[in-house]
Amino acid sequence: MPLVLTALWVVVVVLELAYVMVLGPGPPPLGPLARALQLALAAYQLLNLLGNVGLFLRSDPSIRGVMLAGRSLGQGWAYCYQCQSQVPPRSGHCSACRVCILRRDHHCRLLGRCVGFHNYRPFLCLLLHAAGALLHISVLLSPALSALLQAHSALYTVALLLLPWLMLLTGKVSLAQFTLAFVVDTCVAGALLCGAGLLFHGMLLLRGQTTWEWARGHHSYDLGTCHNLQAALGPRWALVWFWPFLASPLPGDGITFQTPADVGLVTS
Protein backbone atom coordinates (compact mmCIF):
# COMPACT_ATOMS: atom_id res chain seq x y z
CA MET A 1 0.00 0.00 0.00
CA PRO A 2 2.74 2.61 0.76
CA LEU A 3 4.32 1.92 -2.62
CA VAL A 4 0.94 2.29 -4.36
CA LEU A 5 0.27 5.65 -2.67
CA THR A 6 3.75 6.88 -3.58
CA ALA A 7 3.23 5.78 -7.19
CA LEU A 8 -0.13 7.61 -7.32
CA TRP A 9 1.50 10.81 -6.06
CA VAL A 10 4.20 10.50 -8.73
CA VAL A 11 1.52 10.09 -11.41
CA VAL A 12 -0.26 13.22 -10.17
CA VAL A 13 2.99 15.21 -10.30
CA VAL A 14 3.77 14.01 -13.84
CA LEU A 15 0.26 14.78 -15.10
CA GLU A 16 0.33 18.25 -13.55
CA LEU A 17 3.74 18.95 -15.06
CA ALA A 18 2.53 17.81 -18.49
CA TYR A 19 -0.63 19.93 -18.18
CA VAL A 20 1.29 23.08 -17.26
CA MET A 21 3.93 22.55 -19.94
CA VAL A 22 1.27 22.13 -22.66
CA LEU A 23 -1.50 24.53 -21.57
CA GLY A 24 0.05 26.76 -18.92
CA PRO A 25 2.74 29.45 -19.04
CA GLY A 26 5.44 26.81 -18.99
CA PRO A 27 9.13 27.58 -18.50
CA PRO A 28 10.75 30.77 -19.85
CA PRO A 29 11.68 30.63 -23.56
CA LEU A 30 14.88 28.69 -24.09
CA GLY A 31 17.33 28.43 -26.92
CA PRO A 32 17.93 25.10 -28.68
CA LEU A 33 21.03 24.29 -26.64
CA ALA A 34 19.44 25.20 -23.30
CA ARG A 35 16.32 23.19 -24.14
CA ALA A 36 18.43 20.17 -25.13
CA LEU A 37 20.38 20.41 -21.88
CA GLN A 38 17.17 20.63 -19.86
CA LEU A 39 15.72 17.57 -21.61
CA ALA A 40 18.99 15.69 -21.06
CA LEU A 41 18.91 16.57 -17.35
CA ALA A 42 15.30 15.40 -17.06
CA ALA A 43 16.11 12.10 -18.81
CA TYR A 44 19.16 11.59 -16.59
CA GLN A 45 17.12 12.23 -13.44
CA LEU A 46 14.38 9.88 -14.59
CA LEU A 47 16.84 7.05 -15.34
CA ASN A 48 18.49 7.47 -11.96
CA LEU A 49 15.18 7.53 -10.11
CA LEU A 50 13.78 4.46 -11.86
CA GLY A 51 17.08 2.60 -11.62
CA ASN A 52 17.57 3.22 -7.92
CA VAL A 53 13.94 2.45 -7.08
CA GLY A 54 14.25 -0.82 -8.98
CA LEU A 55 17.49 -1.75 -7.24
CA PHE A 56 16.06 -0.80 -3.86
CA LEU A 57 12.96 -2.96 -4.28
CA ARG A 58 14.80 -5.85 -5.91
CA SER A 59 17.54 -6.07 -3.27
CA ASP A 60 16.32 -8.06 -0.28
CA PRO A 61 18.12 -7.00 2.92
CA SER A 62 16.43 -9.63 5.08
CA ILE A 63 17.77 -12.93 6.41
CA ARG A 64 15.53 -14.89 4.03
CA GLY A 65 17.65 -17.41 2.15
CA VAL A 66 20.76 -16.56 4.16
CA MET A 67 22.54 -19.53 5.75
CA LEU A 68 22.97 -18.62 9.41
CA ALA A 69 23.16 -22.08 10.94
CA GLY A 70 26.51 -22.83 12.54
CA ARG A 71 27.66 -19.22 12.41
CA SER A 72 25.98 -17.93 15.57
CA LEU A 73 29.03 -18.20 17.82
CA GLY A 74 30.43 -14.71 17.52
CA GLN A 75 29.96 -11.79 19.84
CA GLY A 76 26.85 -9.71 19.25
CA TRP A 77 24.63 -12.49 17.93
CA ALA A 78 21.11 -12.66 19.34
CA TYR A 79 18.05 -14.88 19.08
CA CYS A 80 14.90 -13.55 17.40
CA TYR A 81 11.78 -15.24 18.77
CA GLN A 82 9.61 -13.94 15.91
CA CYS A 83 11.87 -15.42 13.22
CA GLN A 84 12.95 -18.30 15.49
CA SER A 85 16.51 -17.88 14.34
CA GLN A 86 19.86 -16.63 15.51
CA VAL A 87 20.61 -13.26 13.94
CA PRO A 88 24.01 -11.59 13.44
CA PRO A 89 25.21 -8.28 14.89
CA ARG A 90 23.65 -5.06 13.60
CA SER A 91 20.54 -6.96 12.52
CA GLY A 92 17.06 -6.34 13.86
CA HIS A 93 13.48 -7.50 13.47
CA CYS A 94 11.03 -5.32 11.57
CA SER A 95 7.41 -5.68 12.62
CA ALA A 96 6.23 -4.28 9.26
CA CYS A 97 8.36 -6.62 7.12
CA ARG A 98 7.91 -9.45 9.65
CA VAL A 99 11.49 -10.57 9.30
CA CYS A 100 14.95 -9.70 10.58
CA ILE A 101 16.99 -7.32 8.42
CA LEU A 102 20.75 -7.51 7.94
CA ARG A 103 22.40 -4.30 9.14
CA ARG A 104 18.98 -2.81 9.68
CA ASP A 105 18.81 0.97 9.48
CA HIS A 106 15.08 1.79 9.42
CA HIS A 107 11.82 0.98 7.65
CA CYS A 108 11.09 3.27 4.69
CA ARG A 109 7.38 4.13 4.86
CA LEU A 110 7.20 5.63 1.38
CA LEU A 111 8.53 2.50 -0.36
CA GLY A 112 7.23 -0.03 2.16
CA ARG A 113 10.53 -1.82 2.73
CA CYS A 114 13.36 -1.83 5.23
CA VAL A 115 16.70 -0.20 4.50
CA GLY A 116 19.51 -2.62 5.23
CA PHE A 117 22.82 -4.03 4.06
CA HIS A 118 21.91 -4.86 0.47
CA ASN A 119 19.82 -1.81 -0.44
CA TYR A 120 21.49 1.03 1.47
CA ARG A 121 23.34 2.27 -1.62
CA PRO A 122 20.23 2.71 -3.86
CA PHE A 123 18.41 4.30 -0.92
CA LEU A 124 21.09 6.98 -0.54
CA CYS A 125 21.26 7.60 -4.29
CA LEU A 126 17.48 7.76 -4.44
CA LEU A 127 17.48 10.52 -1.81
CA LEU A 128 20.01 12.50 -3.85
CA HIS A 129 18.27 12.24 -7.21
CA ALA A 130 14.76 12.60 -5.76
CA ALA A 131 15.77 15.90 -4.18
CA GLY A 132 17.24 17.08 -7.48
CA ALA A 133 14.24 15.96 -9.54
CA LEU A 134 11.71 17.56 -7.18
CA LEU A 135 13.61 20.85 -7.27
CA HIS A 136 13.69 20.65 -11.08
CA ILE A 137 9.92 20.09 -11.21
CA SER A 138 9.36 22.99 -8.81
CA VAL A 139 11.37 25.28 -11.10
CA LEU A 140 9.38 24.16 -14.16
CA LEU A 141 6.07 24.79 -12.38
CA SER A 142 7.10 28.10 -10.81
CA PRO A 143 6.13 30.35 -13.81
CA ALA A 144 2.55 29.02 -13.76
CA LEU A 145 2.29 29.40 -9.99
CA SER A 146 3.82 32.87 -10.13
CA ALA A 147 1.28 33.98 -12.75
CA LEU A 148 -1.53 32.71 -10.53
CA LEU A 149 -0.24 34.42 -7.38
CA GLN A 150 0.49 37.78 -9.01
CA ALA A 151 -3.20 38.25 -9.78
CA HIS A 152 -4.18 38.13 -6.08
CA SER A 153 -3.38 39.75 -2.76
CA ALA A 154 -0.57 38.74 -0.41
CA LEU A 155 -3.05 37.15 2.03
CA TYR A 156 -4.50 35.04 -0.77
CA THR A 157 -0.99 33.97 -1.76
CA VAL A 158 -0.08 32.88 1.76
CA ALA A 159 -3.36 31.00 2.19
CA LEU A 160 -3.02 29.21 -1.14
CA LEU A 161 0.54 28.12 -0.43
CA LEU A 162 -0.02 27.06 3.18
CA LEU A 163 -3.67 25.92 3.15
CA PRO A 164 -4.58 24.80 -0.39
CA TRP A 165 -7.13 22.27 0.87
CA LEU A 166 -8.98 24.94 2.86
CA MET A 167 -9.00 27.23 -0.16
CA LEU A 168 -10.48 24.44 -2.29
CA LEU A 169 -13.16 23.51 0.25
CA THR A 170 -14.23 27.13 0.66
CA GLY A 171 -14.46 27.63 -3.10
CA LYS A 172 -11.71 30.25 -3.25
CA VAL A 173 -9.77 28.38 -5.95
CA SER A 174 -10.63 26.07 -8.80
CA LEU A 175 -9.57 22.43 -8.88
CA ALA A 176 -6.84 23.24 -11.44
CA GLN A 177 -5.45 26.05 -9.26
CA PHE A 178 -5.54 23.84 -6.18
CA THR A 179 -3.74 21.02 -7.98
CA LEU A 180 -0.99 23.37 -9.13
CA ALA A 181 -0.44 24.79 -5.63
CA PHE A 182 -0.64 21.35 -4.00
CA VAL A 183 1.86 19.77 -6.39
CA VAL A 184 4.34 22.62 -5.99
CA ASP A 185 3.96 22.50 -2.20
CA THR A 186 4.56 18.76 -2.04
CA CYS A 187 7.49 18.94 -4.46
CA VAL A 188 9.22 21.63 -2.41
CA ALA A 189 8.46 19.81 0.84
CA GLY A 190 9.63 16.52 -0.67
CA ALA A 191 12.88 18.08 -1.88
CA LEU A 192 13.55 19.50 1.59
CA LEU A 193 12.71 16.16 3.21
CA CYS A 194 14.97 14.22 0.84
CA GLY A 195 17.74 16.77 1.30
CA ALA A 196 17.49 16.54 5.09
CA GLY A 197 17.46 12.74 4.90
CA LEU A 198 20.50 12.77 2.64
CA LEU A 199 22.41 15.01 5.06
CA PHE A 200 21.49 12.82 8.02
CA HIS A 201 22.37 9.55 6.32
CA GLY A 202 25.51 11.13 4.87
CA MET A 203 26.60 11.81 8.43
CA LEU A 204 25.84 8.20 9.38
CA LEU A 205 27.67 6.98 6.27
CA LEU A 206 30.85 8.83 7.18
CA ARG A 207 30.65 7.54 10.74
CA GLY A 208 29.90 3.92 9.79
CA GLN A 209 26.67 3.92 11.80
CA THR A 210 23.09 2.86 11.34
CA THR A 211 20.22 4.96 12.62
CA TRP A 212 19.76 2.54 15.54
CA GLU A 213 23.46 2.78 16.44
CA TRP A 214 23.43 6.57 16.16
CA ALA A 215 20.45 6.84 18.52
CA ARG A 216 22.30 4.77 21.11
CA GLY A 217 25.74 6.31 20.61
CA HIS A 218 27.41 3.14 19.30
CA HIS A 219 30.64 3.61 17.31
CA SER A 220 31.85 0.01 17.22
CA TYR A 221 32.11 -0.15 13.41
CA ASP A 222 33.64 3.23 12.60
CA LEU A 223 36.58 2.33 10.34
CA GLY A 224 37.44 5.85 9.23
CA THR A 225 35.87 7.84 6.42
CA CYS A 226 37.35 5.97 3.44
CA HIS A 227 36.70 2.49 4.83
CA ASN A 228 33.17 3.46 5.91
CA LEU A 229 32.35 4.63 2.39
CA GLN A 230 33.70 1.45 0.85
CA ALA A 231 31.84 -0.74 3.36
CA ALA A 232 28.48 0.83 2.47
CA LEU A 233 28.92 1.69 -1.23
CA GLY A 234 31.66 -0.61 -2.50
CA PRO A 235 35.06 0.23 -4.04
CA ARG A 236 33.54 2.68 -6.54
CA TRP A 237 31.84 4.71 -3.84
CA ALA A 238 32.66 8.02 -5.54
CA LEU A 239 31.00 7.01 -8.84
CA VAL A 240 27.89 5.13 -7.74
CA TRP A 241 26.07 8.41 -7.06
CA PHE A 242 26.01 9.23 -10.78
CA TRP A 243 24.73 5.96 -12.29
CA PRO A 244 22.63 3.27 -10.58
CA PHE A 245 23.83 0.40 -12.79
CA LEU A 246 27.52 0.82 -12.07
CA ALA A 247 29.00 -2.36 -10.53
CA SER A 248 30.43 -1.74 -7.07
CA PRO A 249 30.17 -4.99 -5.06
CA LEU A 250 29.91 -4.60 -1.32
CA PRO A 251 32.65 -6.10 0.84
CA GLY A 252 31.43 -8.71 3.28
CA ASP A 253 28.13 -10.52 3.44
CA GLY A 254 26.06 -8.48 5.89
CA ILE A 255 26.67 -11.05 8.61
CA THR A 256 30.16 -10.25 9.82
CA PHE A 257 31.59 -6.74 9.94
CA GLN A 258 35.04 -5.32 10.39
CA THR A 259 35.89 -3.35 13.51
CA PRO A 260 38.59 -0.69 13.94
CA ALA A 261 40.96 -3.38 15.28
CA ASP A 262 40.56 -5.38 12.05
CA VAL A 263 41.89 -2.54 9.89
CA GLY A 264 44.63 -1.51 12.28
CA LEU A 265 42.92 1.54 13.78
CA VAL A 266 43.79 2.39 17.34
CA THR A 267 40.87 3.49 19.51
CA SER A 268 41.16 5.16 22.88
- pLDDT for 46-94, tens place per residue? 999 999 999 999 999 999 888 776 665 667 788 899 998 889 999 999 9
192 inside domain? yes
DSSP of the chain, one letter per residue? Answer: -HHHHHHHHHHHHHHHHHHHHHHS--SPP--HHHHHHHHHHHHHHHHHHHHHHHHHHHS--BSTT---TT-TTSTT-EEETTTTEEE-TT-EEETTTTEEETT--EEETTTTEEE-TTTHHHHHHHHHHHHHHHHHHHHHHHHHHHHHHHTS-HHHHHHHHH-HHHHHHTTSS-HHHHHHHHHHHHHHHHHHHHHHHHHHHHHHHHHT--HHHHHTT--TT---HHHHHHHHH-TTTTTTTT-TT---PPSS-SSS---GGGGT----
Q: How many domains does the chain have?
A: 1
148 inside domain? yes
Task: Tell me what pLDDT residue 114 has.
Answer: 95
Task: Tell me what pLDDT residue 206 has.
Answer: 96
104 inside domain? no
Task: Tell me what pLDDT residue 70 has.
Answer: 62
The segments of the chain whose pLDDT lies below 70 read 24-28, 69-74, 263-268
78 inside domain? no
Domain that holds residue 176: 2-60+111-259
Residue 108 designated active-site? yes
102 inside domain? no
220 inside domain? yes
79 inside domain? no
* Predicted TM-score of the model (pTM): 0.88
142 inside domain? yes
Among candidate residues 108, 114, 125, 194, the one labeled active-site is 108
Task: Tell me what pLDDT residue 268 has.
Answer: 43
* Residue 85: Cβ within 10 Å count: 17
